[in-house]
Amino acid sequence: MEKKFVVGVDVGGQTSKLGIVNKDGNVVAQSVIRTDQTAVAEEFLSTLAKAIKDLLAGSKLSLEDINGVGIGAPNGNYYSGCIDDAPNVAWANGVKVPVAEILSGKLDGVKVTLTNDANAAALGEMQYGIAKGIKNFIMITLGTGVGSGIVIDGKLLYGADGFAGELGHTCVDNSPNARTCGCGLKGCLEAYCSAIGAAKTAKLWLIETTEPSSLRSLPLDQINSYEVYKAAKAGDALALKVFDYTGTILGTALADFVKFSAPEAIVLFGGLARSKEFLTEPITKAMNAHLLSIWKGKIKLLYSSLPESDAAILGASALAW
């Protein structure tokens, strides 16, 4: 008999969110555990298994009622079921952790499926969100980093090894003074268009120019993309220019992604995407300026429509159907 529920888990560096999701895409129960309290994978996965069982028990459900567990995690590999060296996850830093296998063992053999967080987001958007019915799209997650999930003919693109879709590490600046990315490469999209990249742009401009800005009243360490957003909202010219610069770089990069897979739409997701009122115009302008004529004005730019608190859980859960 077909099961009526799945469990979705979103593994982040600090906390991991889990939820029980029904067929209609409603999160019927959810909880949060710490990811960063142990450097031992086995220990974290025991805590997670217990949290899943507790959550089910709280909803008067058991492992027998769920079709599977879907996990979205940094560097999660769909083919191998492993997290392959995730620097931001204490128990997966520099090592390969067979998450699906270990967790399934702790959950009476329930099927556990893993993918990276951006792929999970793309799946969630396709199953429950703005990308419903769109067969070809590229999901770009603008968070601490820049991730991507590429959907082709209604299916996630995994590639030969399960690692397809690392668009945050494509090169947007090949000049000698390009920024160095966390991955070690230079000029990566992520170094400019992640929440951290945008905040860095603001900080650099505050240092390099004398342009007045309300951001100057903040300690440098407190300037993040949300502060830049608030300043832009209040009309701060420097903050507005940060979004213009960030959107232009992103739009230019998106044009190259379109040349690869000719998607119907680009879907933006994540913290920085909440600044869409300042990003849409520069992104659209730069993307169309760098597209071949066959695509100019034709590629939709969409923003995630999932309720913020549920999005990551829903995305991960979509794996388990």
Q: What CA–CA distance (Å, rounded) separates 319 from 119?
A: 10
Residue in 226, 295, 303, 321 binding a copy of itself, rule: CB under 8 A: 295
* Residue 68 φ then ψ, to 5°: 160, 175
DSSP per-residue codes, 67-127? EEEEEE-TTB-TTT--EE--TTSGGGTTSEE-HHHHHHHHTTT--EEEE-HHHHHHHHHHH
163 part of the interface to a copy of itself, by CB under 8 A: yes
Annotate 167-177 with b (16+ C-beta within 10 A) or e (fewer).
Answer: bbbbebeeeee
Residue in 175, 177, 210, 217 binding a copy of itself, rule: CB under 8 A: 175
Q: Which is nearer to a copy of itself, 163 or 303 (CB)?
A: 163
Residue in 8, 16, 140, 169 binding a copy of itself, rule: CB under 8 A: 169
Number of residues in contact with a copy of itself under rule CB under 8 A = 42
293 part of the interface to a copy of itself, by CB under 8 A: yes
191 part of the interface to a copy of itself, by CB under 8 A: no
Q: What CA–CA distance (Å, rounded) separates 136 from 126?
A: 10
Q: Which of 176, 177, 168, 195 is nearest to 271 (CA)?
A: 195
76 part of the interface to a copy of itself, by CB under 8 A: no
282 part of the interface to a copy of itself, by CB under 8 A: no
Cβ proximity of 119 and 78 under 8 Å = yes
42 part of the interface to a copy of itself, by CB under 8 A: no
161 part of the interface to a copy of itself, by CB under 8 A: yes
101 part of the interface to a copy of itself, by CB under 8 A: no
259 part of the interface to a copy of itself, by CB under 8 A: yes
Q: What's the chain's Rg over C-alpha atoms?
A: 20
User: Which amino acid appears at position 239 of this protein?
Assistant: A
321 part of the interface to a copy of itself, by CB under 8 A: no
Q: Which is nearer to a copy of itself, 11 or 266 (CB)?
A: 266
Based on the number of CB atoms within 10 Å of its own CB, is 36 exposed (0-12), middle (13-18) or buried (19 or more)? Answer: middle
| Piece of 209-217, 224-232, 239-247, 286-294 that binds a copy of itself (CB under 8 A) | 286-294
Q: Which is nearer to a copy of itself, 152 or 206 (CB)?
A: 152
95 part of the interface to a copy of itself, by CB under 8 A: no
| Token code pair at residue 92 | 């997966």
Least distance from a copy of itself to the Cβ atom of residue 296, Å: 11
Residue in 185, 206, 218, 273 binding a copy of itself, rule: CB under 8 A: 185
SS3 (DSSP) at 184: coil
147 part of the interface to a copy of itself, by CB under 8 A: no
Q: Which of 164, 103, 124, 70 is nearest to 307 (CA)?
A: 124
Least distance from a copy of itself to the Cβ atom of residue 264, Å: 4
SS3 (DSSP) at 212: coil
Residue in 128, 257, 269, 278 binding a copy of itself, rule: CB under 8 A: 257
| Piece of 15-23, 46-54, 219-227, 290-298 that binds a copy of itself (CB under 8 A) | 290-298
159 part of the interface to a copy of itself, by CB under 8 A: yes
CA dihedral 159, 162, 166, 170 (to 10 degrees): -50
Residue numbers of the site for a copy of itself (CB under 8 A)? 84, 135-136, 150, 152, 157-167, 169-175, 183-185, 252, 255-257, 259-264, 290, 292-295, 298
